[in-house]
Amino acid sequence: MTTSIPKITIPADLLPNDGRFGCGPSKVRPEAVAALASAGLDYLGTSHRQEPVKLMVSRLRNGLAELFALPDGYEIMLGNGGSTVFWDIATFGLIDRRSQHLTFGEFSSKFAQAAAATPFLDDPVVIKSEPGTHPEAIPDSAIDVYAFTHNETSTGVAMPLVRPAGTSADESLVLVDATSAAGGLRFDAAQTDVYYFAPQKCFASDGGLWLAAVSPAAIERIQRIGASGRWIPESLNLVTALDNSRKDQTYNTPALATVFLAVQQVEWFNDNGGLHWAASRCDRSAEIIYSWAEASSYATPFVTDEAKRSHVVATIDLDDSIDANTVSAVLRANGVVDTDSYRKLGRNQIRVALFPAIDPEDVAALTKCVDHVVAQLS
Ligand SMILES: *Cc1c(COP(=O)(O)O)cnc(C)c1O
């Protein structure tokens, strides 16, 4: 399928100011890059066991606690490896015997697979729904971890975070993969026990780090499993991560630039009005792109139920007469990048990040660019 890309030049007055629309790594604000460049000589290349870096980690932990309005006793933990490694960490240190997974796309499926492959756990219960929808949890006394995904990045579906009816954190923990949602979607932390993510999406930083807001019940679980005699590799051990996080450190060396850029974004949110402000930017971008698609003769929101349509990742189907891969390739040739659909979903669609760093005006400009390209192609 190596068709050549049609030579279409998008007029400069239609182009967005910033052409980065990828779902991760995603747009890093130029102001944050400039701040890194100017602070870099004192900060980059210095020990992560000394004050300047520990202070940066503490700004990140405190800033996130403020942003999420964490209830008393909740803490921010961090470690190396990103969200994918956190799934393995959770199989070692958070699932007691049996987990229940809501799977509705690529990312939510992967945690379920990790749990199923873990020899010392019982087979997980997997509740699956079609791409473009999300399943509902089924309360079950045999379950000690419910695994949710706040935003399924592969399909553009967001789900509300509510503890399964009749369950309590004393018996079952709610673990939420919030990798593409954290910082862009509203939620009530009290409905979650472990809200984990990596900072290359709404936090406009780079990958390789995991962060988690953990409840007192989750901390108790971590300590109980840690003391149970279960073999846990040290780099995946949450007791070790908790000890280090409380000292504003990580077990092994973190990427200092990643920590710095995440702090820039968290403080940008908090200085401007917090999560409500950040989520409102995403709401505005979502309104722009979905109303454009609804009105378009050739574009349709993939997620039919408006309530499930993500405000951080939009998936837009194109009419079969227009090849979405060609549209994305022409956009890329014009400096508007990463609008490609999630390949394994296999749909004729574009996927657009609506993260807070992305200017809603740029989302509006993107829709005009797509209209221009489609008009030229037909
Ligand atoms: C991007 C993403 C991941 C993977 O994150 P890594 O840091 O690359 O491991 C996991 N879950 C969701 C929902 C994501 O969007």
Give the model confidence (pLDDT) of 146-172 as tens digits. Answer: 999 999 999 999 999 999 999 999 999
Locate 240 and state its tokens: 């070790």
Q: How do residues 352-372 score in pLDDT, each as one tens digit?
A: 999 999 999 999 999 999 999
Question: Confidence band (pLDDT; 50, 70, 90) for 343?
Answer: confident
Give the integer Cα–Cα distance in Å for 264 and 251.
23
229 CA distance to ligand 1 centroid (A)? 30
Q: Under a CB-based contact definition with an 8 Å cutoff, are residues 156 and 162 in contact?
A: no
CA dist list (Å): 9 to 304, 323, 330, 370: 33, 18, 8, 12
- CATH number given to 32-272: 3.40.640.10
Nearest CA to ligand 1 atom 2: 179
Name the β-bridge partners of 214. Answer: 75, 194
Q: What SS3 class is residue 375?
A: helix
149 lines ligand 1 (CB under 6 A): yes
Give CATH 3.90.1150.10 domain extents, the chain. 12-28+275-377
Q: How do residues 177-212 score in pLDDT, each as one tens digit?
A: 999 999 999 999 999 999 999 999 999 999 999 999
Cis, bond preceding 25 (omega within 30 deg of 0): yes
Q: Under a CB-based contact definition with an 8 Å cutoff, are residues 131 and 83 in contact?
A: no
Q: Under a CB-based contact definition with an 8 Å cutoff, are residues 360 and 281 in contact?
A: yes
84 lines ligand 1 (CB under 6 A): yes
Give CATH 3.40.640.10 domain extents, the chain. 32-272
Q: Is the pTM of this model over 0.85?
A: yes
Q: Under a CB-based contact definition with an 8 Å cutoff, are residues 310 and 179 in contact?
A: no
81 lines ligand 1 (CB under 6 A): no
Q: Which of 353, 377, 308 is nearest to 131 (CA)?
A: 308
Which atom of ligand 1 lies nearest, measured to the CA of 207?
7
Give the N- to C-terminal CA distance of the chain in Å, as an integer. Answer: 20
134 CA distance to ligand 1 centroid (A)? 18
CATH 3.40.50.2300 is the classification of domain 12-28+275-377: no
198 lines ligand 1 (CB under 6 A): yes
In the DSSP assignment, the letter for residue 234 is G
